[in-house]
Structure 1
């Protein structure tokens, strides 16, 4: 995935409490993410990453042991939201951690596009997302879904309401 053309002048370092809070919201409080098995691997202001392990409950085509397309779509949507969480957290570093975490309550998907490029067959999958633009009301994101070998299996683009 291409980096944003204009990264922040100084890299943002999140407090451990903020990262832990985002992980708790994303992996535990959003119960469907737990059903999907989404596990965050990195949270940075400019990019977030996660992984999913293949499980029988996620199979969409039994003859090929292929991941269900709905799992891919839902996971990419969740990753776009996670990227927006990180970008909002970076924008409001002057606020206390609990106040920044509360900002995610209004976050919601308003548009989602998924392009399925190859069958998702394997033991696990890697996901990443970045925010292309964070406005005062709407954020635009780009997401990628890959096999553990790095082969791109699906891409996504989404818009989220942030206020």
Structure 2
């Protein structure tokens, strides 16, 4: 079996079935992501991006209408996991989409660090994540939480068990 290094040397084009499956898992089957309102805007082997709209349920400081730090942390953690899903999907392109989607069952966070840089104030937020290293057992990621203007509000780093 050929191993794809990460990031892949060549761009990987995911099948529509794989992308739809990842989107369904991330946005619907992981119910907490649905509660937060997380959505995928782009999924590629080397980087994923998403979005989140501010809602009253997500306010952490009522006087400033600031998003709760726990929401930021959870959103970055979810995006890190999504990046790992994409990297695993790219590594196993020789398998059918359904078989690759089953590989996510054992994925879990083992370490997470969040640096809060600026107050999360706004109507919507942008998120992105990339895998720095995809090993056979552990993946390392870097994530960003930005305002709608692209300004970095929080940065994260995570480690995920992949097997």
Normalising by structure 2, what TM-score? Answer: 0.96
Q: Deviations over 1:62-109 (max 9, x none)?
A: 000000000000000000000000000000000011110000000000
Count how many residue pairs are aligned between Structure 1 and Structure 2: 158
Matched, 1:142 2:134: no
Matched, 1:91 2:88: no
| Alpha-carbon distance, 1:10 to partner | 1.5
Q: Which runs of 4+ in 1 moved over 6 A?
A: none
Any unmatched runs of 5+ in structure 2? 1-5
Partner Cα distance (2:135, 2:47) in 1: 17
Normalising by structure 1, what TM-score? Answer: 0.96
Partner Cα distance (1:80, 1:150) in 2: 19
Equivalences for residues 13-92 of structure 1 within 5 A? 13-92=13-92
Any unmatched runs of 5+ in structure 1? 1-5
| Alpha-carbon distance, 1:7 to partner | 4.1
Partner Cα distance (1:46, 1:130) in 2: 6
Q: Is the 8 A contact 2:83 2:129 kept in 1?
A: yes
| Alpha-carbon distance, 1:9 to partner | 2.5
Q: What RMSD in Å do the two structures reach over aligned CA positions?
A: 0.8
Give the equivalent residue in structure 2 for 1:109.
Answer: 109
Q: Is the 8 A contact 2:39 2:52 kept in 1?
A: yes
Partner Cα distance (1:8, 1:54) in 2: 34
Q: Please state whether the residue corresponding to 1:18 is helix, strand or coil.
A: helix
